[in-house]
Amino acid sequence: MKTQGFKDLIVWQKSYSLVLEIYKATKEFPKFETYGLVQQMRRAAVSLPSNIAEGYGRRHKAEYMQFLSMAYGSLAELETQYLLAIDLNYMEKSESIGALLKEVGSMLYRILNPLKT
């Protein structure tokens, strides 16, 4: 099935779901983190589907891969911040966030590093 747009990409759909989960999880962070870790996590999360969408919209493979690479970097940043939030006791470990981080990471890795035959 041919994609009609970036919203058809499963990696975009999963990363969008991750953004929603991060927003829910960071609602309960301490108020003094509103402009610190909360903002950092939300920005990193939002950049995932945003970069995937922008790269898709560029319509050139090299640019698309560059934007997917930026999304992969944002994912690593978000995972670091997620672990930090857990260690600071701002949130409990979340199975849904953990699963989405892993799944989106695997998808991006496979797109960026296809198997050579």
Assigned domain for 117 exists: no
Assigned domain for 24 exists: yes
Give phi and psi for 110, each to the nearest 5.
-65, -35
Give one word for 70, left, alpha or beta, with left for phi > 0 and alpha for psi -120 to 50. alpha
Assigned domain for 1 exists: no
Whole-number average pLDDT of the chain: 94
Assigned domain for 75 exists: yes
Among 81, 1, 12, which residue's Cα sits nearest to residue 47?
A: 12
| In contact, 108 and 68? CB cutoff 8 Å | yes
- Asked whether residue 3 carries a pLDDT value surpassing 80, the answer given is no
What total of structural domains would you count in the chain?
A: 1
| pLDDT single digits (tens) 10-47 | 999 999 999 999 999 999 999 999 999 999 999 999 99
The per-residue pLDDT for 33 is: 94
| In contact, 78 and 101? CB cutoff 8 Å | yes
The per-residue pLDDT for 59 is: 79
CATH of residue 13's domain is: 1.20.1440.60
